[in-house]
Structure 1
Amino acid sequence: MLSQQEKRYNWNKKYSKYLIKKNDFDLLHPTYYEPYFLKKLKKPYVITVHDMIHELLPDSFPSNDVAALQKKEVIKQAAKIITISETTKNDLKNILGIPDHRIEVIHHGYQLKKKQNEITNQDSQKDEYILFVGARSGYKNFNRFIVAVSPLLKSRTTLRLICTGGGAFQKEEINLFKKLAISNNILQANVSDEQLDSLYSNAMAFVFPSIYEGFGLPILEAFQNRCPAILSNSNCFKEVAATAAEYFDPNDEHSILNAIIKVIDHVDFADDLIKKGEERLQHFKPEYCVQKTISLYKSLS
């Protein structure tokens, strides 16, 4: 029996095919790589490539995953390709040999939220926890991060790691926590957007240990909520955060641990990252993303 999500997806695809057949539009911009529209489409189309994770880290996905093949097929005939970072653009060029002139980099826009209470004092009044946001499998590098942070959690018994998103902990993760003797220091919570903002705001730091990403929206969420960001030194994270984060080698547990200690033990340094993060947000205003996307559409119509 199909789930509601599958039913909505099938209905949406059927309706999209109907509209494509009518041909009453100037340009198509599909939301993903499934090539269902290629045979009937008579107008140009744009495709957005978010990352090249399937191509660079195939072991992180099931053997029957067809995303990489579909992506290659759809990219081949696209009038223009949008990438959400220079990092993804470079990966796309290197892996599939796409020429520079076919690719347009348009960063994600981030809608700033109104602050109910402007913070004027130092951000030293943080709760004793570190925040991890999102999925935890494969290239997200969660297990190595846990091993890296475990000595800190064991030595500081009041310090917690809060994980949100990604669902409940799996049996393998729970066993790892037990093995490292840190089960009581790690919590998982599924939260609303408002609760997530609160978690960012009160955390001593947000840690993003991924081996690879195409962008990294949680970084901007941390900046918005005045949370110091500690990130793996992947190219896209540096592109997003610039000097507004502390970086570490995601393959080196000592590097991860040292970066966390540097931020949570030095209030002035953490406050400096917070200020730089707020400044960095100005580079990702939604209107920039909208204006560049509309300009691209107009150039093809």
Structure 2
Amino acid sequence: PAERVTVIPEAADPAFRPRPPAEVEAVRCKHGLPERYLLYLGSNKPHKNLTRLVEAWAHVAQRTTRLTFDVSRFTFDVSRFTLIIAGVWDPRYPQPKRRAEELGLGDTVRFLGPVAEADLPALYSGAMAFVFPSLYEGFGLPVLEAMACGVPVACSGTSSLPEVGGDAVLTFDPTDVEAMGEALRRILEDASLREHLRQRGLARAATFSWERTAGETLALYRTVGEPA
């Protein structure tokens, strides 16, 4: 029964916070990243839904080839914008790479592979936005880490992710490629939306802490330990 279930959230490591430009630039150069990129961080297991993400990115590319955006005083063609898919790659699931090749996405998608833990805060901070299209999660820590780094987030509106992101993320149906693509297009095109999500995300992330997790866990133990 619901009254016997208590949900206690995780938290992001304190290292996940907006990083200074020099640190972001150093990590960007280390990994050969473009000046601005859309980031996914996680595994390539099937429930992470990367094949649909690649297809959604193709949808964005088709819709925005001729548009330009002004970011930090630099105007660039979104056709040169790169989707970075970072994280440990399991060779048992090659479908996302194959689909990117089939769609002819070329260097608009880059499979970065694993990234050192120390580089992750700057990797997040350098992203124009973070996307997390997972079909289901136990929590969804990358969404929280991205918000804590001040990065606007677009993620699935399913499983635990709405509980993590609240009203600080742009959600989409992870089974609908076109809807996912439209969410990515919105977050790339709309600077005011990105700033809104960035501010909301920082505030939302600040409500999660390991002190809170520990306190709620201790309170639960005390409640359970009380005599009936």
Residue 104 of structure 1 corresponds to 6
Is the Cα–Cα contact under 8 Å of residues 125 and 151 in structure 2 kept in the other structure? yes
Distance 2:174 2:13 in 1: 29
Which moved further from structure 2: 266-275 or 173-182? 173-182
Distance 1:152 1:214 in 2: 29
Q: For 1:197-248, what per-residue CA distance to the aligned partner results, in whole angstroms no more than 9, with x for missing partners?
A: 1121111111011112121111111011111100111152111111111111
Is the Cα–Cα contact under 8 Å of residues 244 and 277 in structure 1 kept in the other structure? yes
SS in 1 for 2:167: coil
Residue 163 of structure 1 pairs with residue 85 of structure 2:
yes
Distance 1:146 1:115 in 2: 27
Q: For 1:37-56, what per-residue CA distance to the aligned partner results, in whole angstroms no more than 9, with x for missing partners?
A: xxxxxxxxxxxxxxxxxxxx
SS in 2 for 1:191: coil
Distance 1:292 1:299 in 2: 10
| Letter in structure 2 aligned against 1:130 | L
What TM-score do the two structures reach when normalised by structure 1? Answer: 0.60
SS in 2 for 1:262: helix
Distance 2:172 2:10 in 1: 24
Report the alpha carbon displacement of residue 188 of structure 1 after superposing the two structures with TM. Answer: 2.2
Which moved further from structure 2: 164-173 or 263-272? 164-173
Q: 1:171 to 1:296 in 2, by over 3 A?
A: closer
Residue 88 of structure 1 corresponds to none
Distance 1:252 1:245 in 2: 18
Distance 2:174 2:83 in 1: 18
SS in 2 for 1:152: helix
Residue 178 of structure 1 corresponds to 101
What TM-score do the two structures reach when normalised by structure 2? Answer: 0.77
Is the Cα–Cα contact under 8 Å of residues 128 and 158 in structure 1 kept in the other structure? no
Distance 1:172 1:117 in 2: 36
Distance 1:298 1:112 in 2: 27
| Letter in structure 2 aligned against 1:214 | G
Alignment of 1:1-301 (within 5 A): 99-113=1-15, 117=20, 127-153=35-61, 155=65, 156-167=78-89, 171-189=94-112, 190-301=114-225
Structure 2: 5+ residue runs without aligned partners? 22-33, 66-77
Structure 1: 5+ residue runs without aligned partners? 1-98, 119-125
| Letter in structure 2 aligned against 1:104 | T
Taking only aligned residues, the RMSD between alpha carbons, in angstroms, comes to 2.2
Distance 1:176 1:234 in 2: 24
Report the alpha carbon displacement of residue 153 of structure 1 after superposing the two structures with TM. Answer: 3.8
Distance 2:39 2:223 in 1: 42
| Letter in structure 1 aligned against 2:149 | N
Distance 1:167 1:288 in 2: 33
Distance 2:37 2:20 in 1: 22
Distance 2:18 2:173 in 1: 34
Is the Cα–Cα contact under 8 Å of residues 11 and 144 in structure 2 kept in the other structure? no
| Letter in structure 1 aligned against 2:11 | G
Distance 1:277 1:266 in 2: 16
| Letter in structure 2 aligned against 1:111 | D
| Identical amino acids, percent of aligned pairs | 29
Distance 1:160 1:116 in 2: 21
RCO higher in structure (CA 8 A, sep ≥6): 2
Count of residue pairs brought into register by the alignment = 196
| Letter in structure 2 aligned against 1:181 | G
